[in-house]
Amino acid sequence: MHQYNKNLIAASISLAVGALLPFSSAAADEQELRQEIMNLKHKVERLEKSRIPLVTQETEKQEQEQETQWFENISFSGLVEVEASYADTADGDESDIVVATVEFGIDAQLTDWVNAHVLFLYEDGMDNPEVDEAIITIANLEKSPWLLAAGRMYAPFGNFDSHMVSDPLTLEIGETREEAAQIGFVSGNFFASAFVFNGDANEDGSSHIDDFGLSVGLAHEAGDHDMGYSFGASWINNLADADSLQETITDPDALQDKVNGIGVYGSLTFGQLIFIAEYMGASHAFDAADLAFDSSGAKPRAWNLEVDYGFEIMGKAAMAGVAWQQTEEALALELPETRFLATVSVEIYEHTALSLEYAHDEDYSIREGGSGDDADVFTLQLAASF
């Protein structure tokens, strides 16, 4: 389950909070002091080569201050999720305990304009951890509403907001991770971004930067006396480059036709109540040679409707939620046609949560090529973040 800690605006433009927000700017006199330290350091290095010791207590103090300032601009974050599950399916029941997710992130604020972000990820089923994100961001929202980001990132296509343990089915259709370049604009509650990348699914097997997309939205954080909201829409010119579709398309190097992807979402927060809605899917059907459903071209799409409520249990923050998710013509992606979810989560300690989720899946009918079977899955998740 890939859910990295992001704020509302950053989630919409697929950047970590540290990649967007500037750290405290260095004053001009501090910059001069840094230059003096560098000059002194070079002088010391030259003298050391001549075997003339010149390391005074003042020099050591200045170098220690420089190292401390450098270290303070680097932050680490992480997430560990351990899950125990029990599934009752048509083929029988099964149970397991797995390390579902391990994330380790590093953010370095190199200047008040430049941030470097790296996220390592391991998920159950992977042979080895991988570099999930590696992004260089040029942004200073205190001085400019524009930002530029480049690297390995999740394209700002879709929102995929959910408080369930399981990822929403909209994510299973639209999540797109690529080596990309992105330009963004943030002003007040409005944000927008455009991105380009060289996708893996192409019509002629060539390799060009010819995949692109757009995302726009409005977001306002809820206050003590006002409602919070988030609305947005996104578009991508080649849905076949979404992660799950890349693995499903018959021949990504000989794509018959590029199909646009469209996503819209919205959420409202009233006090302790949160309402979430999202739609994600293809603008029209794929060629049957690329992706088929019921003997013709498939038009995969999904939506998620969710309601969550926050409360307290013995002084501990808790949340309960239910969700209804559905797909259309997504049999080839091995997704259920309908999914009902119910989750209860309690923060048992600071940064440590215990969640219990019940999921009921209904497969596509036999007439449509599915099994027509149902499945029930209970998942107990212990998650710790830092």
**Residue 354 belongs to what domain range?**
8-23+73-385
Residue 11 has pLDDT above 80, yes or no: no
Q: Cα separation of 115 and 6, whole Å? A: 15
Spell out the alpha helix ranges (H) of 213-313: 243-246
Nearest 5°: the CA angle 243, 169, 83 is 90
Q: How many domains in the chain? A: 1
Q: Cα separation of 350 and 80, whole Å? A: 14
For the stretch 127-148, pLDDT in tens is 999 999 999 999 999 999 999 9
Spell out the alpha helix ranges (H) of the chain: 8-12, 17-20, 28-49, 57-72, 169-174, 243-246
Residue 366 lies in a domain: yes
Residue 263 has pLDDT above 70, yes or no: yes
Average per-residue pLDDT in the chain?
A: 86
Residue 233 has pLDDT above 80, yes or no: yes
Which pLDDT band, with edges at 50, 70 and 90, does 55 fall under?
very low
Q: What confidence score (pLDDT) does residue 19 get? A: 36
How many Å is the maximal CA-CA distance in the chain?
Answer: 87
**Amino acid, res. 13:** I
Which pLDDT band, with edges at 50, 70 and 90, does 59 fall under?
very low
Q: Which two tokens stand for residue 75?
A: 């932050």
Strands 338-349 and 352-362: antiparallel
Q: Cα separation of 289 and 248, whole Å? A: 12
Interhelix angle 57-72/28-49, nearest 10 degrees: 120
The residue ranking higher by pLDDT, 48 or 126, is 126
Q: How far is CA 279 from the centre of its chain?
A: 17
Q: Cα separation of 302 and 381, whole Å? A: 25
Q: Cα separation of 353 and 345, whole Å? A: 7
Cα–Cα distances (Å) from 240 to 153, 208, 216, 268, in that order, read: 17, 15, 21, 31
Residue 65 lies in a domain: no
Q: Which two tokens stand for residue 147?
A: 């930002």
Residue 115 has pLDDT above 80, yes or no: yes
Decide if 169 contacts 335 (C-beta within 8 A). yes
Q: What confidence score (pLDDT) does residue 1 get? A: 47
**Partner residues linked to 309 by β-bridges:** 273, 320
Mean pLDDT value of segment 274-283:
98
Decide if 177 contacts 338 (C-beta within 8 A). no
Contacts of 176 (CB under 8 A, 6+ apart): 154, 155, 157, 236, 241, 242, 243
Residue 29 lies in a domain: no
Contacts of 302 (CB under 8 A, 6+ apart): 168, 169, 170, 172, 173, 279, 280, 281, 325, 326, 327, 328, 330, 335
Q: What is the CATH number of the domain that holds 114?
A: 2.40.160.10
Mean pLDDT value of segment 45-62:
41
Q: What confidence score (pLDDT) does residue 51 get? A: 33
Report the half-sphere exposure of 10 (CA within 13 A, side-chain side). 16
pTM equals 0.81
Residue 19 lies in a domain: yes
Q: What confidence score (pLDDT) does residue 65 get? A: 57
Least confident of 21-30, 210-219, 358-367: 21-30
**Partner residues linked to 379 by β-bridges:** 85, 357
Residue 191 has pLDDT above 70, yes or no: yes
Q: Which two tokens stand for residue 87?
A: 């599934």
Q: What confidence score (pLDDT) does residue 314 get? A: 93
Please report where in the chains the tokens 């083929």 appear, as a residue: 91
Contacts of 243 (CB under 8 A, 6+ apart): 175, 176, 177
Residue 38 lies in a domain: no
Least confident of 54-63, 234-243, 343-352: 54-63
For the stretch 346-384, pLDDT in tens is 999 999 999 999 999 999 999 999 999 999 999 999 999
Residue 293 lies in a domain: yes
Mean pLDDT value of segment 68-73:
70
Sign of the alpha-carbon dihedral angle for 254, 208, 238, 241: positive
Residue 155 lies in a domain: yes
Task: Please spell the DSSP secondary structure of 149-169, one letter per residue.
Answer: EEEEEE-S-------SSSPPH
Q: Which two tokens stand for residue 354?
A: 């215990």
**Partner residues linked to 277 by β-bridges:** 266, 305
Mean pLDDT value of segment 286-305:
96
Residue 182 lies in a domain: yes
> Nearest to residue 19, comparing CAs of 150, 179, 160?
150
Please report where in the chains the tokens 């929202």 appear, as a residue: 141
Least confident of 18-32, 257-271, 319-333: 18-32
Decide if 224 contacts 271 (C-beta within 8 A). no
Contacts of 42 (CB under 8 A, 6+ apart): none
